[in-house]
Structure 1
Amino acid sequence: MSLLLAVSLFFKMLSVPLLGRIAWLDFTTQKISNRDVLMLLCLGLGSLQLMSVQAGSWWDMGLSAIAALLLFVVLFPLWALRKLGAGDVKLMAIIPFVIGGPGLAFFSILLLLFALATAAVIKYPFMLPEGAFRVYVQHLDRKGVVPFGVPISLAAICTIVLLLTNSVYAHV
């Protein structure tokens, strides 16, 4: 395994706890900080840059940039209509840089599943066991807030873990 690939994989590994932090903070405070999004963007761009140099092709970087721009353009009106938070839009716009082109399809499928599960839990909190978590979810439902940073982060973490295991097994 080359040094460029190892550092790229290390950057991807560093983004996993940061995504976990984003998910937790979005769940507890309904806020995604710009600092966390920028750190995630820097880790993703660094990883993509190293992978592009290693592969000798900028296709993955270009595909990620196009996907990020498309996501931002599509989701920005939803923010303007107050259907999504600004942090959710920014997080979704940088995820293609964190994941890279090969993982976007898998990420999209996982995001759909996790978003549906999150919406179901928020809409029907009576399915949850009694306790503080259920009370908090009922509070979110009364406020009309859905922390979409949680399914975005979970889908990204699962995709990164899959990409890391595939890369390690392919280069061992």
Structure 2
Amino acid sequence: MLLVEALLLKALAIPLLAWIAWVDFTTQKIANRDVLLLLCMGGGSLLLLSLQSGSWWDMGLSAIGGLVLFLALFPFWVLRKIGAGDVKLLAVMPLLIGGNSLVVFTVLLLFFAVATAVLVKNPFMLPAGAFRLYVEHMDRKGIVPFGVPIAAAAICGIVYLIYESLVLANSSGILGQLN
């Protein structure tokens, strides 16, 4: 049963991540309360999974990953190359995604970050005029809402993780035992 609750916490993070992406896109701000809520959801999910498996490896790996990301990105915030909200959001992602799925998240983040950079630098690729003007404004100001690709990669990573967990649970017969 702990697997179901852990996956539910991860699934509940998806609308919050979508909200963070929208707010970051429109205001270039990521609220501390949203990041803390993601931290609690991710930590709670990892705690439940650790209790189920009896191993604290994934939780430790995630905590170390979050600390390393925060320390690595902090100088970029000091140099004003990345926003403080983006640094905090990226530091929380290993706890939300889990240490075993960080590779999937990293590949997705790379893809979405490149796509965002291409759209900001080439707004003529976008269909809607108002949207194009907004992106051109971001390009002139030198603003890139990096929370959008972070949230998109996290959403896709969580969906992949839930799918993978359900397939594994179905193949091992766990889902049949729950019915």
- TM-score (normalizing by structure 1): 0.97
SS of 2:137's equivalent in the other structure is: helix
**Structure 2 match to 1:99:** 97
The AA in structure 1 aligned to 2:35 is V
Alignment correspondent of 2:125? 127
> Are residue 141 (structure 1) and residue 136 (structure 2) matched?
no
User: Percent of aligned pairs with the same residue?
Assistant: 64
Q: Could you give the per-residue CA deviations for residues 5-52 of structure 1, whole angstroms, max 9, x where no partner exists?
A: 110000000001100000000000000000100000000000000000
Give, in whole Å, the separation in 1 of the partners of 2:19 and 2:127: 25
1:130: how far off?
A: 4.1
Letter in 2 for 1:108: T
Partner of 2:161: 163
Question: What is the RMSD computed on CA atoms of the aligned residues?
Answer: 0.7
Q: Which residue of 2 aligns with 1:89?
A: 87
Name the counterpart of 1:23.
21
Distance in 2 (CA, whole Å) between partners of 1:171 and 1:127 is: 42
Matched, 1:72 2:70: yes
Q: Distance in 2 between matches of 1:41 and 1:133?
A: 32
List, as ranges, runs of 4+ consecutive aligned residues in structure 1 with deviation greater than 2 Å.
none
**Distance in 1 between residues matched to 2:101 and 2:129, nearest whole Å:** 37
Distance 1:32 1:116 in 2: 21
- Output the CA distance in 2 between the equivalents of 1:58 and 1:127: 46
C-alpha displacement of 1:126: 1.8
Instruction: Give, in whole Å, the separation in 2 of the partners of 1:113 and 1:158.
Output: 11
**How big is each residue's C-alpha offset from its partner over 1:66-115, in whole Å with a ceiling of 9 and x where there is no partner?**
10011001100000000000000000000000000111001001101110
Q: Which amino acid aligns with 2:47?
A: Q
Larger radius of gyration: 2
Corresponding residue of 2:33 = 35
* Residue matched to 1:49: 47
Aligned residue-pair number = 170
Give TM-score scaled by structure 2 length: 0.93
How far, CA to CA, are the matches of 1:143 and 1:111 in structure 2? Answer: 23
Instruction: Give, as a single letter, the amino acid of the residue that structure 2 aligns with 1:158.
Output: C
